A = this chain, B = another copy of it.
């Protein structure tokens, strides 16, 4: 275990950590003590039909959902729903390469096994059922890698998911995304300080993680975001300051944690359940589903999301307009949450 103060309540606010025990992994191997970090808002009702699950994206945690998406006046309203946001494996809050100790000491750092989206979903289902008394979900939602988990939930556990809202992500990783993720991975593993993942402190990889931020700057924000200097809206005076801000966001993170997530992203594909047949996999979905791509997203373009939506029975495509591009999911643009609230509100109002 390496010390990293970023992965703590001091930086992420209150959350709980619960072990669901050993988790056998899809690609082989096991996490002996699968500890999941999560935060909850609201109360489970007597009928146990008001639970909402939120899944997290690459580099993100429950924090952004708490600060941006959840609250009175939002569709994700804790006065109506019991909302659970589970931090993904490798997030740094749940079991991750940097914090594997005790029973997990053998899977620390470079020894961390390959985790897949399906492993997260299996772990989340167990957490919800065994520890939180939740057997049915009124809604599963998440953005980017959270969308991957949302799709996995809807395909793997169709009877448990009443509604699904994947935001800015796909059910099957596209080849372009796979190449982009290669670049994210390579920006860290090519650093001479990486030492095959066996560096002593995350601070040795500060340059690598900042280089990785530059990769995100190119694909995470639209050409018009930079052209129209939308970074001014977040208090920046020039684009160099914005890039430094973006680097600062990633700097405290652990490279092995990010790599665990990136590899997981690359393996995301619900068609694993159906011998590679995507139409058959998505055809299993019984949840009322709104597919929510962002119009300026460079790596999950609307057309890729629309092609999957067309395979989901009774689903709707709801395109979110945001000049920011993929990183719109951070909620920097006020009109973003208005749209998300409208779509999620209408989805939650549907009988399911």
Q: Closest residue of chain B to A180, judged by CB? A: B218
A298 contacts the other chain (CB 8 A) = yes
Contact B214 A186 (CB under 8 A): yes
When A and B form their complex, which 5 residue pairs have the shortest distance between CB atoms, in order from nearest? A175-B226, A176-B223, A176-B226, A192-B192, A180-B218
A186 to B186, CA, bound (A): 13
The dominant DSSP class at the A interface is helix
Cα A221 to Cα B219 with chains together (Å): 13
Please, what's the 1-or-0 string for A217-246, where 1 marks a CB less than 8 Å from any CB in chain B?
111011111110100000000010001000
Q: Do B175 and A243 have beta carbons less than 8 Å apart?
A: no
Q: How far is the CB of A325 from chain B (nearest CB, A)?
A: 10
User: Across the interface, which residues of B come within 8 angstroms of A217, CB to CB?
Assistant: 179, 183
26 pairs from A and B in contact (CB 8 Å cutoff):
A174-B223, A174-B226, A174-B227, A175-B226, A175-B227, A175-B229, A175-B239, A176-B218, A176-B221, A176-B222, A176-B225, A177-B223, A179-B214, A179-B217, A179-B239, A182-B214, A183-B214, A183-B215, A183-B217, A186-B211, A186-B214, A190-B190, A190-B191, A219-B219, A223-B301, A223-B304
Chain A, 304-348, contact with B by CB distance < 8 Å: what is the 0/1 string? 100000000000000000000000000000000000000000000
Within residues 91 to 115 of chain A, which ones have a CB less than 8 A from any CB in chain B?
none
Within 8 A of B (CB), among A163-204: 174-177, 179-180, 182-183, 186, 190-192
Q: Which of A179, A215, A217 has the most C-beta atoms of chain B within 10 angstroms of its own C-beta?
A: A179
How many copies altogether? Answer: 2
Question: Who on chain B is nearest to A304 by CB?
Answer: B223
Extra contacts, 10 of them, besides A179-B217, A183-B218 (Cβ < 8 A), are A174-B223, A175-B226, A176-B218, A176-B222, A176-B227, A179-B214, A179-B218, A179-B226, A190-B191, A192-B192
The number of chain A residues touching the other chain, given as a range, is 20 to 34
Q: Given A218-B179, A218-B180, A239-B175, do A224 and B186 touch, yes or no (CB 8 Å)?
A: no
Residues of B within 8 Å of A304, CB to CB, are 223, 227
A179: B residues at CB distance < 8 A: 214, 217-218, 226, 239, 243
Interface residues of A (CB under 8 A from B): 174-177, 179-180, 182-183, 186, 190-192, 207, 211, 214-215, 217-219, 221-227, 229, 239, 243, 298-299, 301, 303-304
By beta carbon, the residue of chain B nearest A301 is B223
A174, A175, A214, A222 — most chain B CB neighbours (10 Å)? A175
| A214 CA / B239 CA spacing, docked (Å) | 24
